[in-house]
Structure 1
Amino acid sequence: MPASRPEGPGRPERPPGLEEALGALGLEGVREYAGDIFAEAMVCHALPGRALPRTVTPEMRALVVDWLVQVHEYLGLAGDTLHLAVHLLDSYLRAGRARLHRLQLLGMACLFLACKMEECVLPEPASLCLLSAGSFSRAQLLRAERRILSRLDFRLHHPGALLCLGLLSALARSRPQVKLLATYFLELSLLEAEAAGWEPSRRAAAALSLANRVLDGAGSRPQPVLYSSAELDPLEQCMVRGALRGPAPGLAAIFLKYARPQRQGTSLAAARLLRGLQPGPP
Structure 2
Amino acid sequence: MLSPAASLDPEPLSAAVPDVVSAGTSASLRRPERPSGSCAPPGLEEALGTLGLQGEREYAGDIFAEVLEYLGLAGDTLYLAVHLLDSYLRAGRVRLRHLQLLGVACLFVACKVEECVLPEPASLCLLGAGSFSQAELLRAERRVLSRLDFRLHHPGPLLCLGLLAALARSSPQVMLLATYFLELSLLEAEAAGWEPGRLAAAALSLAHRVLDGAGSGMEPAFYSPAELGSLEPCMARAALRGPAPGRAAIFLKYARPQRHGTSLAAARLLRRPQPGPR
TM-score range, shorter chain: 0.7 to 0.9
Instruction: Return the letter of the residue paired with 1:59.
Output: S
Distance 1:194 1:150, change over 3 A: farther
1:113-149 deviations in Å (ceiling 9; x for gaps): 1100000000000111012111100000011111111
The answer to whether 1:183 aligns with 2:183 is: no
Where does residue 26 of structure 1 map in the other structure? none
CA distance in 1, matches of 2:27, 2:169: 36
User: Partners of 1:137 and 1:84 in 2: how far apart?
Assistant: 23
Separation (CA, whole Å) in 2 of partners of 1:177 and 1:89: 31
* Inter-CA distance 230–159: structure 2 relative to 1 (3 Å threshold): same
Contact residue 61 and residue 193 of structure 1 kept, 8 A: no
Q: Write the letter of the residue equivalent to 1:146.
A: R
Q: 1:148 aligns with which of 126, 141, 144?
A: 144
The amino acid across from 1:173 in the alignment is R
Paired residues, number? 227
| Corresponding letter in the other structure for 2:158 | L
Q: Report the AA paired with residue 60 of structure 1.
A: L
The residue number in structure 2 matching 1:117 is 113
Return the offset for 1:230.
Answer: 2.2
* Equivalent-residue separation in structure 1 for 2:113 and 2:90 (angstroms): 21
Residue equivalent to 1:60: 29
1:1-40 map, 5 Å? none
Which secondary structure does the structure 1 equivalent of 2:83 belong to?
helix
Q: Deviations over 1:38-82 (max 9, x none)?
A: xxxxxxxxxxxxxx6079575323449x67851111111100000
Structure 1: gaps of 5 or more residues: 1-51
| Contact 2:209-2:274 at 8 Å conserved across structures | no
Deviations 1:192-226 (A, max 9, x none): 12312111000000000000000002322223322
Name the residue aligned to 1:101. Answer: 97
Post-superposition offset of 1:95: 1.1
2:238 to 238, 242, 247: 242
Q: Conserved in 1, the CA contact under 8 Å of 2:85 and 2:102? A: yes
Alpha carbons 1:161, 1:201 under 8 Å: kept = yes
Q: Does 1:217 align with 2:213?
A: yes
Residue 250 of structure 1 and its aligned partner are, at CA, apart by 1.2
> Is the Cα–Cα contact under 8 Å of residues 68 and 108 in structure 1 kept in the other structure?
no
Gapped regions of structure 2 (runs ≥ 5): 1-20, 34-61
Question: Aligned to 1:247, what secondary structure does the other structure show?
Answer: coil
Whether the 8 Å contact between 2:88 and 2:147 is mirrored in structure 1 is yes
Percent identity of equivalent pairs? 78
Higher helix share: 1
Matched with 1:127 is 123
- 1:255 maps to which of 233, 251, 258: 251
Cα pair distance change 1:56/1:216, threshold 3 Å: closer
User: Which secondary structure state, in structure 2, belongs to the residue aligned with residue 218 of structure 1?
Assistant: coil
CA distance in 2, matches of 1:68, 1:231: 35
Which deviations, in whole Å up to 9, do the C-alpha atoms of 1:19-39 show, x marking residues without a partner?
Answer: xxxxxxxxxxxxxxxxxxxxx
Q: Which residue pairs with 1:275 in the alignment?
A: 271
2:166 match: 170
Counterpart residue number, 1:138: 134
Give the aligned residue type for 1:227.
Y
TM-score, normalised on structure 2?
0.77
In structure 1, what is the equivalent of residue 56 of structure 2? none
Deviation, 1:233, is 3.7
Q: Residues 62 and 193 of structure 1 are in contact (CA less than 8 Å); yes or no, is this contact kept in structure 2?
A: no
Q: Distance in 2 between matches of 1:225 and 1:59?
A: 30
Moved over 3 A (4+): 54-59, 61-64, 66-69
- Tell me the SS of whatever aligns to 1:277: coil
- SS of 1:276's equivalent? coil
Matches of 2:118 and 2:28 in 1, distance apart? Answer: 30
| Distance apart, 1:227 and its partner CA | 0.9
| Cα drift, residue 151 of structure 1 | 0.9
8 A contact 2:74–2:114 mirrored in 1: yes
